[in-house]
Every structure is written in structure tokens, then in C-alpha cells.
Amino acid sequence: MPQFCHVASEDRVLVVTIDRPEVLNALHPAASFELAEVFDAFEQDGEHRVAIVTGRGERAFCAGLDLKSQASSDRLPDAPLSGFAGLTARYGGTKPIIAAVNGLAAGGGFEIALACDIVIAAEHATFSLPEPRIGLAAVAGGIHRLSRQVPLKHAMGMLLTGRRVSAAEGLTFGFVNEVVPGPELMGAARRWAAEIAACAPLSILATKECAIEGMRFGTVQDAMHARYPALERMVRSEDFIEGPRAFVEKRTPSWKGR
């Protein structure tokens, strides 16, 4: 059983709750390695189509690296190959992940959210990359993801000051998809997850692969002419036939995922 998180299966949705509220859900290496195993298993299983990651309690999603555990060391903390929380360096992740940000998302906590595909935030949530204030830098993807996900001036305003941004401001910047009252957060995240899970699973995998991998190319034309294995698999699938057929017959598709 996981020691630093709670994992629940809810009708094709995996809900992962970081469970270290005593330190604002900050992560030490052992917690990151544990989460890496959880998300490795999620990638491989045939049951879950989407995951939600959140933090226990109302105060914090994740306060980043557990600095108390790091203060006694003079070297960088150990981390799984898939990065902080098993997510920030998971470049080959195929399934959608939703961040349900229930409070403070600072440093590595914000980097977790930036590594997810969709961010739903409670009204009281805040986001920051305060690493420069303590002699560090947001090198777990924060610098590069933020500057790609929002206008550069907004990104630099956060990166160079370490200031906190509210959920409402994050929605305006564009790295938050929806802001809801705190008690409604998980309901909203589950609503987004249900909408994803209702789609053809191979279409979702192909769409995510095309969107993420396509960013490697300098032009839309090059991206459109690139080869995407998940897209090829989708075109060869039974679901590729089932979807249009169900539309014509005015019924709900029966997705096989093959």
C-alpha cells in the first residue's frame, strides 16, 4: 500500500491524492519514487483512461520539495527518471492527467500542475515558483513549461520575482482551465475526467500524442506530416469504424479501445 499518497479507482478514473498534509503535501525523494510507481502502473493498466492528482486537505496541493528533508544534504535530492512526483519528466506519458489544485501549489507543486494536461483550481489556490528566493531555480520543468504555456511576459513576471499568483489570475494567464469554489473542486475535476473518459480511448491517446509531440516541430506543416504511432493505431482500430457508425445510428458508441 502507498505510504505517502492515497489511490482510488472511480469508474475508469484513477484519483491520486498526495497524503503529507503535515508538511503541506511537500515531497521528499521517497514520496516521489512512490508516486512514480503509481503513475507507471497507471500508464500500463488497461482499466483507467484518465487520472486526477490532488493533495490532502484544503491548505495545499503540494508545497514542492520538502526542504526540511533536503536541508541536511549538500547535493540534489534523488529523483525517479520520471521526475518530481513521477510526473515532471514523464515526457512519454500517453494518458491524460488532471491536476485538481486544492490550495498552495509552490515550486515543485506548481511544476506538477504544469506537467498535467488540465488544471482545475479551487478559488483559494495559489501558484508560484519561488526557487530564486532561496538560491534555487525551477528546473523540474517550471521554467520551460510556464514560458511555453502562457505569454512570455506573464511567465517572466512570475519566474523572476517568485511571486504568488491567484487561481483567478492563473485562469487569465491561461495555465488554469477552470476555477471553482473549494468544496466543488473534486466534482469539477471528476466532471472533466468523465468527459474525457466518454471519448474514444484511442482517439484521446492519439490526440495527446499529436499535441505534445507536434510541438517539437517548427511549423504546423511539419507537425502535420510527422508520424504518430498512436494516430496510426487509432486509424486501424475497431473504434475508428464504431464512432461514425454510432453517430449515423444515433446511439452511444461502444468503445473497445482496439
CB 55 within 8 A of CB 23: no
Question: 29: left (phi > 0), else alpha (psi -120 to 50), else beta?
Answer: alpha
131 among known catalytic residues = yes
* Cell representation of residue 215: 510541438
How far apart CA 122 and CA 179 sit, in angstroms, is: 6
Give the 3-state secondary structure of residue 5. Answer: strand
In the set 22, 34, 37, 111, the catalytic residue is 111
111 among known catalytic residues = yes
How far apart CA 16 and CA 7 sit, in angstroms, is: 5
In the set 131, 178, 238, 242, the catalytic residue is 131
How far apart CA 180 and CA 187 sit, in angstroms, is: 10
Give the 3-state secondary structure of residue 8. Answer: strand
How far apart CA 76 and CA 141 sit, in angstroms, is: 15
Residues β-bridged to residue 178: 120
Cite the active site residues. Answer: 111, 131
